[in-house]
Amino acid sequence: MNDVHARKRELRQSILVTRSRLTEDDAWATSPELARHALELPELAGARTVAAYVSIGREPATRALLDALRSEGVRVLLPVLRPDNDLDWAPYEGTDALVRAGRGLLEPTGTRQGPDAVTGADAVLLPGLAVDERGRRLGRGGGSYDRVLARLSAAGARPTLVVLLYDGEVLEEIPVEPHDLPVAAAVTPSGVHRFTPRPPH
């Protein structure tokens, strides 16, 4: 696994260098298109509950999508980072109900619903750095979302998994480990990429 870890680390660094060349204004400029394309997914547009996240820094901007979902009456859950690096969840109640927390994250101030709240979501929006043509996602390596995905699997929950990325971050192949679950779709500012899981060669 050391070789896979090294390849993941190198790819993460390369993508983060590319992202670092963006300004925060560049990131914000993608927000309307990202929201519009995300809502083209019927699994998202028709969801009752969506687990999402608030983008920070140079991540693809999620704020317009969060507000669009909320305006449509969708219950949006946002993560709250726990001391053990696991994620709790609380409802999104608008930008005025977000506070700056550790690691520069923006977190909701509402009542925490517990780590298992994500198992009731119809769709889960995942942060990421890349995805490959089989739908395998490259995260930042912190492990928080690996726990979320493991929790969903253990509960038998099958929400639609969607990763939000920039154009150019949908790659032919990325290094993966057995616990790396495929996503159903990636949304970029230029459109939706759907994936049908295929067995390895």
pLDDT band at 122 (very low <50, low <70, confident <90, very high): very high
So what's the pLDDT on residue 1?
Answer: 47
150's CB contacts (< 8 A; 6+ apart) are 179
Domains of the chain: 2-194 (3.40.50.10420)
Q: Mean pLDDT across the chain, nearest whole number? A: 92
- CB count within 10 Å of CB 177 equals 11
Alpha helices in the chain, H assignment, sequence order: 2-20, 24-29, 31-38, 42-45, 63-71, 144-155
DSSP 59-77: SPP-HHHHHHHHHTT-EEE
Does 126 score more than 60 pLDDT?
A: yes
Does 33 score more than 70 pLDDT?
A: yes
pTM (two decimals): 0.93
115's CB contacts (< 8 A; 6+ apart) are 82, 86, 87, 88, 89, 147, 151
CA pair distance 55, 107, nearest whole angstrom: 10
pLDDT band at 153 (very low <50, low <70, confident <90, very high): very high
Q: Please, is 48 exposed, middle or buried when counting C-beta atoms within 10 Å of its C-beta (0-12, 13-18, 19+)?
A: exposed
Q: What is the mean pLDDT of residues 140-151?
A: 89
So what's the pLDDT on residue 47?
Answer: 96
Predicted confidence (pLDDT) per residue in 62-118, tens digit: 999 999 999 999 999 999 999 999 999 999 999 999 999 877 889 999 999 999 999
| Contact status, residue 2 vs residue 10, Cβ threshold 8 Å | no
Residue type, 86: D
